[in-house]
Amino acid sequence: MSTTIPIGPFHPVLEEPEYITLEVDGERVLSADIDLGRNHRGMELLAQEKTYDQDTFLVERICGICSASHSWAASRAVEDVVGCEVPARARYLRTIVHELERLHSHMLWVGLGGHIIGYWTVFMWGWKYREPILDALEMITGNRQHYAWYRPGGVRRDVPDEIWPKVLKILDEFDEKVDLLTGAVLDDPVILGRLKGVGILTKEDAIAYGALGPTARGSGVDIDLRRDEPYGAYAEVDWNVITQDGCDCLAVAVIRLLEMKESVKIVKQCIEKLPGGPIDAGIREVPRGEGIGHIEAPRGETFHFIRSNGTNMPERHKMRAPTYNNIPTFRPRVKGETITDALLCFAIIDPCYSCTERMTVLDPSGRITYGPGELLRLSHEKTEEIRRNS
Amino acid sequence: MASTLSMILYFIVFPGLVFTAVVGLLTTWVDRKVSALVQWRVGPPWYQPFADVLKLLGKEIVIPEGAKRTGFLVAPLAGLAAVALVSTMLWLANMRGAGFVGDLIGVIYLLTIPSLGMIIGASASGNPLSSIGASREMKLILAYELPFVIAIFTAVTKVSPMTLKLDGILEYQAMNGVLLGNLSCIIAFVVAILCAQAKLTYPPFDIPEAETELMDGTHMEYSGAALAVVKVTQAMMLFTLPVFFITIFWGGLQLTGWGILYTIVKYVIIVTIIVLIKNTNPRVRIDQAVRFFWGPVTILAIVGMILAVLGL
């Protein structure tokens, strides 16, 4: 006999309203279903009503945690349309802010992971360790989040050289704390007992579901946009892509911890090698055309597509956050696990639902489910409409 | 008549309900403050637990649709009464040597009632998450009761002549030194502390409540005064269990002169151990908890028992 356990729409484990239903037999999960669509904000339409310069401010607000990723991806999309080269100093500054963002995002997840397995001390400590990184970001960009740092062609402000020693000091201290946390996770038998062998996502499943970022790398899929298609300053500094073959929740958690060490390495090298020169390519006009910009956000690949009609506003601005690809991996992960572990499986991808949601269908009669064919038809109709109007 | 009246006073005011509740709530403040310091937070002021309970008492009790009204509301009261009774028995045994033959068994039995009450209350609430919490609580009781009872009976075995009276155990300790001086009783004490963690549903065994899974599980549907009763019962357990361990293993409560300070120190040490375990462990899964209690903990308890029989 199976029971339905509702998780959400409001639940302590979900930062955003989402509705997940678990079919359980006792404590054993038979299947899971996720119902998205509670965070629709109309970002794509808004983006089409603002200028390219304003868009970078808007897309930052897609996600409070990976705001640098979205604005960088949008800037890259515009640069792709224009076909311009970004000055070296701007590339380095962009990389520094982006990697600092990865640090605070991964540390935030470490805290959340502690919260989910009921380890309150880790939750509080992780978030405390994260604070100095936000301070460093504030020193560099002027903001703790929503940095207003990226613009098509470069960055908005230059940074005086005297702040770098302070940033390096913060990074050194942070590095020690990451070592401490990594040691604590790998040595604590109770944490290992909770994470090891839980929520298996095989390599085949990860590829079939199109998993991204740490979720994929935890299943042994060796993908990282920073290496596979280098942008920013990644090709010019020395760092490693972290992959694990564990396929379980522990593998993903370890990847996040080890990636923090790599990010610290990248930022330090970038600060060391930071070249002088202009910080902006000075884009004056965006010609007709299409462009894509994608970068490796903390959770995986963030993808932005821009179609320009020669005006100062995009005709179409499509965004895709990595959580969109990672959400379906819940299903293979939770099958056969207990309720306790099911929630860990949801949280292990570090979901960011409001970043993901782009479309909501409202129907007074109830819920509508679109099949793949239906969605393809809707997408084609939309494209046709754009073509007609342009 | 007078003795009946004084018994009622003992039960309601001191050392029963009111006294236990006040000290228990103060202990939860210590718990919260120590947890906060461990976690680099500031923590609440000392009156916070009282303010919480007072606020809850003034709130409306919402009874969910589909709940069995009587069972839902009576269950927490049964737990409250049981803990108040245990506290009264322990204090009277310590203060005046009052008791009856087999009162130890009564105490062990009554200490289970709050958990049983939560199972009944949660099952009566008609909420699927609560019912999962109730089933977890059941498994948890099955897991920790066996080592808990073995641990307590290790102490009983050490006492000669063997007695099931709290008073007798205290008398033996007064004559021959505290039981915690023996290897077997140290092992039993460790086992008892671990079981206390589960009895209190504190991490790593807060599985029935599991805030991030079941949204407080067994307590989920309780609100207003009923929730206040649940919270006070938990606070009273946090007071009663250390007192029980002090009575059994650590020479009892001395309530005169410097003995008062010594008693407080013993109490604070036990509470600190419990709070530190709480703050340095994540929540385990229910199957892991059952395996832990039936495996290593029970074996440890049996080893302690064997040592006690051998006279160590």
- Mean pLDDT within A367-379: 75
Interchain pair B210, A116: CB under 8 A: no
In a domain, A110, yes or no: yes
- Mean pLDDT within A49-63: 88
- Mean pLDDT within A135-156: 86
- Judge whether B34 and B106 are in contact, CB under 8 Å: no
Q: Does A115 touch chain B (CB under 8 A)?
A: yes
Q: What is the pLDDT of residue B50?
A: 92
Interchain pair A118, B212: CB under 8 A: yes
What pLDDT, in 10s, does the model give residues A105-116? 999 988 888 888
Q: First-to-last CA distance in chain B?
A: 47
User: Is the pLDDT reported for residue A369 higher than 80?
Assistant: no
In a domain, A100, yes or no: yes
What pLDDT, in 10s, does the model give residues A235-289? 888 888 888 888 888 888 889 989 999 999 999 999 988 888 888 888 888 888 8
Please give the tally of structural domains in chain B: 1
Instruction: Please list every residue in chain A whose beta carbon sits closer than 8 Å to the beta carbon of residue B129.
Output: 5
Q: ipTM beyond 0.90? A: no
Reported as a pLDDT band with limits 50, 70 and 90, residue A39 is: confident
SS3 annotation, chain B: CHHHHHHHHHHHCCCCHHHHHHHHHHHHHHHHHHHHHHCCCCCCCCCHHHHHHHHHHCCCCCCCCCCCHHHHHHHHHHHHHHHHHHHHHHHHHHHHCCCCCCHHHHHHHHHHHHHHHHHHHHHHCCCHHHHHHHHHHHHHHHHHHHHHHHHHHHHHHHCCCCCCCHHHHHHHHHHHCCHHHCHHHHHHHHHHHHHHHHHCCCCCCCCCCCHHHHCCHHHCCCCHHHHHHHHHHHHHHHHHHHHHHHHHHCCCCCCCCHHHHHHHHHHHHHHHHHHHHHHCCCCCCHHHHHHHHHHHHHHHHHHHHHHHHHCC
- Mean pLDDT within A320-345: 85
User: Is the pLDDT reported for residue A1 higher than 70?
Assistant: no
Q: What is the pLDDT of residue A362?
A: 61
Q: pTM of the entire structure? A: 0.82
Please give the tally of structural domains in chain A: 1
Reduced to 3 states (helix: H, G, I; strand: E, B; else coil), residue A113 is: helix
The C-alpha atoms of residue A170 and residue A140 are separated, in whole angstroms, by: 13
In a domain, A361, yes or no: no
Measured between CA atoms, how close is B171 to chain A, in angstroms?
41
Instruction: Give the best residue of B212, B281, B288, B291 to mutate against chain A (max A CB count within 10 A).
Output: B212
Q: What is the CATH number of the domain that holds A271?
A: 1.10.645.10
The amino acid occupying position B136 is R
Q: What is the pLDDT of residue A135?
A: 84
Q: What is the pLDDT of residue A17?
A: 80
- Judge whether A201 and A247 are in contact, CB under 8 Å: yes
In a domain, A376, yes or no: no
What pLDDT, in 10s, does the model give residues B37-64? 888 888 899 999 999 999 998 888 888 8
Structural domain boundaries enclosing B129 = 2-309
Q: Does B282 touch chain A (CB under 8 A)?
A: yes
In a domain, A244, yes or no: yes
Task: Nearest chain A residue to B284 by CA: give it.
Answer: A194
Structural domain boundaries enclosing A205 = 44-303
Q: What is the pLDDT of residue A367?
A: 62
Q: What is the pLDDT of residue B184?
A: 85
Name which of A3, A124, A191 is nearest B39 (Cβ-Cβ).
A124
Reported as a pLDDT band with limits 50, 70 and 90, residue B147 is: very high
Instruction: Give the best residue of A117, A128, A348 to mutate against chain B (max B CB count within 10 A).
Output: A117
In a domain, A74, yes or no: yes
What pLDDT, in 10s, does the model give residues A183-232? 887 888 888 888 888 888 888 888 888 888 898 998 888 888 888 888 88
